[in-house]
Structure 1
């Protein structure tokens, strides 16, 4: 049996190929196609802590009132979990948010969460990865039980389709060239800003 020796040169080539494969994409169409359109915020509270439970419910009611008054679109699930459920290790509830309102909802929860911790994660077909490497925390992090989550689903988990937001929104049919033209205008303006990094010039 012939044994093929794995040379240092081959090892370097493999490393370079892996680095290229892991490079962030810059193809405009690919980036637009994979854009995340819906998010979950999970508000956590120690389920035996009455003060935290009340604070979590007060925050939920505030979000509902602000949605009613037009501040943003955010949809708390009807259920409040008073015990661990799924990957969540404590009392919690879910707030769905489309990308159209993400900045407003994130801002509000950052400013008014008090001592509560909030898990933020995207909604894609890769639910386990969404709760693992793609998640973020507002406040202290909690350990999650990821084994309860599917690795990949056949469809994007779009919610509240009647709102016509997020993944259910009408597609943006602007040509790619119009986006590039808008980008060039931004670059021209920022060229006069000393503190702004300049976009690379492609060969």
Structure 2
């Protein structure tokens, strides 16, 4: 069962401010939870990122909005089912170029 979703907006030093603006706008527009701006890769993520936490209902609105408003940034989204490896490896959605995740943390 899907209990929620995470959308991770990836950035680098040159696009951090843009990513923060996009995440703040998403939080204000959809009421999603904006996490910290991580200036280094965290967990399985290969780049610095900011996480947006959503309910399934919010995600249905957020994903199309991110597709139109990500301004060239890469976004990785996945469901939250409690099966972390499968959620990241098998059930992820990429907006932009897909990147390799560090899935070894789930083993």
Whether these two folds match at TM > 0.5 is yes
2:4 corresponds in structure 1 to 38
8 Å contact 1:86–1:149 — kept in the other structure?
no
- 1:85 and 2:46 aligned: no
Q: Secondary structure at the match of 2:37?
A: coil
Would you say how many aligned residue pairs link Structure 1 and Structure 2?
A: 107
Distance 2:91 2:50 in 1: 19
8 Å contact 1:120–1:137 — kept in the other structure?
yes
- 1:131 and 2:95 aligned: no
Alignment deviations for residues 14-59 of structure 1 (CA, whole Å, 9 cap, x no partner): xxxxxxxxxxxxxxxxxxxx3x23100000012xx32x11110110
Q: TM-score, normalised by structure 2?
A: 0.92
Distance 2:25 2:7 in 1: 15
Of 32, 49, 53 in structure 2, the residue corresponding to residue 74 of structure 1 is 32
Runs of at least 5 residues in structure 2 that lack an aligned partner in the other structure: none
Distance 1:86 1:102 in 2: 22
In terms of fraction of residues, the more strand-rich structure is 2
1:54 corresponds in structure 2 to 17
Alignment deviations for residues 79-102 of structure 1 (CA, whole Å, 9 cap, x no partner): 110001111111101100101112
Equivalent residue runs for 1:78-117 within 5 Å: 79-117=36-74
8 Å contact 2:24–2:34 — kept in the other structure?
no
RMSD: 1.3
Equivalent residue runs for 1:106-185 within 5 Å: 106-149=63-106
Larger radius of gyration: 1
